[in-house]
Structure 1
Amino acid sequence: MVAGNQRSRVVITGVGVVSPVGIGQSAFWSNMTAGRSGITPLSAFPSQNLPCKLAAEIRDFDPLQYIHERKFLKVMSRDIQLGVSAATLAMQDAGLVNGDVNPDRLGVEFGAGHISFTPDELADAARLMEGLTESEISNRWGPTAIGKIAPLWLLKQCPNMPACHVAIEHGARGPNNTITSADASALLALQESMRCINRGHADVMIVGACSSNINPVDIARISLVDTLSPQNDPEQGCRPFDRDRDGSIVGEGSAVFIVERYSHAVARGAEIYCEVLGVGAGCDGRGDENVAGGRGLSSAMGAALRQANVSPRELGHINAHGKSTRNDDWVEARAYHHSFGDDTHRIPVVALKSYFGNFDAGSGAVELAGSILSLKHGELPATLNYKHPDPLCRLNVSRDPQRLRSSIAMTVNRTSMGQSAAAILRAI
């Protein structure tokens, strides 16, 4: 419990990953250390008329292997299935089964992105409206077409449903919240889970994020507001901080973590991956100078370092946002230089989106899993496709796997609107 301003130590005792690089943390880690990318030519549907021909798809995924409450599958979108499955893997990894934790002291904090419908879900209703005028559609939609849509169809698109299903699956009756802050969602969920534990409202929190952009509607939508790489070669599709980068790649995935009060974890004899020393958040605010300089990310990193009582020189690596668009990578690099000065060149930087692209809330969670497993194994994976350093970034990007020089890591994420989050982790 918390006494005065003294915070409880908070640790991570379970990691579950469902990603294009592997399902389960063992496959995920072994593929990353071997340099195996999850980015391939898009295969889920025809791509000839889409602006992006590559994607990071999860293959051989069967939700029935991970979801106990199978009756809910019919109201679970792909995103939700990924999230609930990753939560099951995390609980198994932490050695927890239903009833091990007081249900009222077990909570859920989950990040979610935009959950798209699939065109076939509305196809029958749309066909009834073909050739009608606007007024005819208005008159006939309710009496005729709406009956062609499944009654619980909307439940697949609600961003709070991953947290709901995770709580139902694992009997978690404690604090339950959903964060929809795009790429920063997972780290913000981690921050809120620490607050729940420090307020004395929970002993254990199931924390993560999920999303899937492997959808023609999503790809078309994203291409209108962001830069997707036009490449056909997977080795050139996602190149964070590389001089020749030309956009990000869509993907899908989820990672979930068991976040626990240290004393609770020790009492039950849990294996501890790392301690969460601090999480900070910030936003660029108004003004081009703030956006171009990544002031929100600088604020988030500064807040996390202060909370952790850690100096930049103690960081063994930075797990970068590394979106692989020209502007986003420039802004991120400026934030590092502004925050760390000359120390920037000494800190190894890894950009894991080079393995699995960018997929909103879920990618931040999978990146966090990468840092936690790096601390566990004492090794930093290489950044794929990094061949020509960008002179406007000037970062110490990891080109080859390397041993970690420190047991302390920072992982960061930033949204296109400038909302940012940073977390400091330390291996135990």
Structure 2
Amino acid sequence: MSEPSTVVNRPVITAWSALSPFGMGRAAFTEGLRERRRTAAPLDPDQWRAAGRSASLVPGFDVRAALGKKGTRSMDRVTGLAVTTVSRLLDDSPRNRRVATGENAALVLGTTIGSVQSQMDFTRDSFTGEKPFFVDPARFPNAVMNCAAGQSAIRHQLRGPNTTIAGGHAAGLYALNYSRRLLNFGRARTVLCGGVEEFSHARSWLDMHTHNPETDGEAVPPGEGCGLFLIERNSPLDPEQPVLAEILAVEMGIALDGGVRPALASCLKRAMRRARVRPEEIWALSTSEAPGPSGEQERAAVDEVGAGAAPVRLTQNSLIGDTGAAAAAFQVAAVLAHAEGRPEAAGQVALVTSVDRDGAVGCALLRLS
């Protein structure tokens, strides 16, 4: 099905929340970002058997403490992060829960591959048990990529489309684009959209063994968290709708043979053409800060297409670490947090770009309200 060439009623972001290394909730994220607070801390060796000595964790996060004992006995960390963030966003205002639950409420969640720890644990049990099938069936759902999205929908009565999108660091933008299409084609009334990543022993070792300093640059300490947005159709006649930003365009691409610059430049040109935005209109910029040559090409593509722009440059990787599939969602959250309380941001355009080491590239243009 082809998408309409002209979208008069573009989707808008009306609410957001985050569980991040800055803390739990939207206010904690905004405060930590504005304070430029670094979050990496030494890991407790009694709790973590990780490859590195430090990480940026959601402070004090415990699944059972956050969600209670009911239904959390076998819930893994990534699912707990997602379910808690959904709960936070819905509880932020009565309107959020009213419009973002029920039959026409969708959930689109970006991930890398789900919970690496759960997958490794379940596989290990099949080898170490007396027989391969002597595994805990309650732990099997955690080994499936869409567990976090499914559990979030069940717990919070989200009965519309439920989708998990694997896209690594660009997963948040893939989710944003998918959400936009769901609304444009009338498949949902509202969409909770974002990305989630957990820190775990397995992830830290996997990152260490797959890291190539020559192509990936210096390793960034791992981080974790979940960024989530409430996406709706723009309803000018609804006085209660608190529009934070209009989604002007989202474009995705694939960089082949290390060609990040041409692939991302093509995405940027398509997005700016679709949104009818000139380079000099870009007020704020959040890049993925990809390490090594990919990051250099990302910056080169932005400089090439955005010639004439002098945006505020928002950075956060040095503060919260490599948050994996939550990274692009946190970039969008950073744009919204930066605009909050700044009257001069109204009507301005923000650009978010993302690059994943496996070749996914993308960008989003938002008009702030």
Per the TM superposition, whether the score is higher than 0.5 is yes
CA spacing shift, 1:353–1:268, aligned 2, 3 Å? same
Deviation at 1:266, TM superposition (A): 5.0
Rounded to whole Å, the distance in 2 between the matches of 1:45 and 1:215 is 13
* Whole-angstrom distance in 1 between the partners of 2:189 and 2:260: 39
Distance 1:174 1:221, change over 3 A: same
2:189 to 163, 187, 203: 203
Check if 1:311 corresponds to 2:278: yes
Task: Confirm whether residue 359 of structure 1 aligns to residue 345 of structure 2.
Answer: no
* Pair 1:297 & 2:298 matched: no
Please give the per-residue CA displacement for 1:226-252, whole angstroms capped at 9, x wherever unaligned.
258xxxxxxxxxxx9xxxx72212111
Normalising by structure 2, we get a TM-score of 0.88
SS at match of 1:84: helix
The structure-2 alpha-carbon separation of the partners of 1:405 and 1:13, relative to structure 1 and needing over 3 Å to count, comes to closer
Aligned counterpart, 1:72: 71
Which letter does structure 2 place at the counterpart of 1:163?
A: A
- Structure 1 pair 3/360, CA: closer, same or farther in 2 (3 Å)? closer
Task: Rate the CA distance shift 1:123–1:369 in 2: closer, same or farther, 3 A.
Answer: same
Instruction: State the Cα distance separating 1:338 from its structure 2 match.
Output: 2.8
Residue 87 (structure 1) aligns with: 86
Aligned to 1:270: 241
- Counterpart of 2:105? 106
Q: How does 1:23-422 map to 2 (within 5 A)?
A: 23-43=24-44, 50=51, 52-64=52-64, 67=67, 71-96=70-95, 100=99, 103-114=102-113, 115-117=115-117, 141-142=131-132, 146-147=133-134, 149-212=135-198, 214-227=199-212, 246-263=218-235, 266-267=237-238, 269-285=240-256, 288=257, 291-323=258-290, 325-341=291-307, 343=308, 346-378=310-342, 407-422=348-363
Greater radius of gyration (CA): 1
The CA distance in 2 between the partners of 1:268 and 1:298, in whole Å, is: 38
Change (3 A) 1:227 1:43: farther
Specify the code of the residue in structure 2 equivalent to 1:328.
S
Give the letter for the 2:165 counterpart. I
- The CA distance in 2 between the partners of 1:298 and 1:168, in whole Å, is 40
Unmatched runs of 5 consecutive residues or more in structure 1: 129-139, 229-239, 380-402
Change beyond 3 A, Cα 1:246–1:123: closer
* 1:393 equivalent in structure 2: none
Quote the offset at 1:348 in angstroms. Answer: 3.1
Give the whole-Å Cα distance in 2 for the aligned partners of 1:322 and 1:279: 19
Conserved 8 A contact 2:111-2:166: yes
1:49-96 per-position Cα deviation (integer Å, ceiling 9, x unaligned): 83x32211112124456548x543234220111111111112223533
Q: Which amino acid aligns with 1:10?
A: P
CA contact (8 A) 1:320 1:351 kept: yes
Q: Is the 8 A contact 1:87 1:255 kept in 2?
A: no
Q: Taking structure 1 as the reference length, what is the TM-score of the superposition?
A: 0.76
In the aligned structure 1, how far is the partner of 2:19 from the partner of 2:121?
Answer: 25
User: Kindly tell me: are residues 268 and 203 of structure 1, through their superposed partners in 2, closer, same or farther at Cα, counting changes over 3 Å?
Assistant: farther
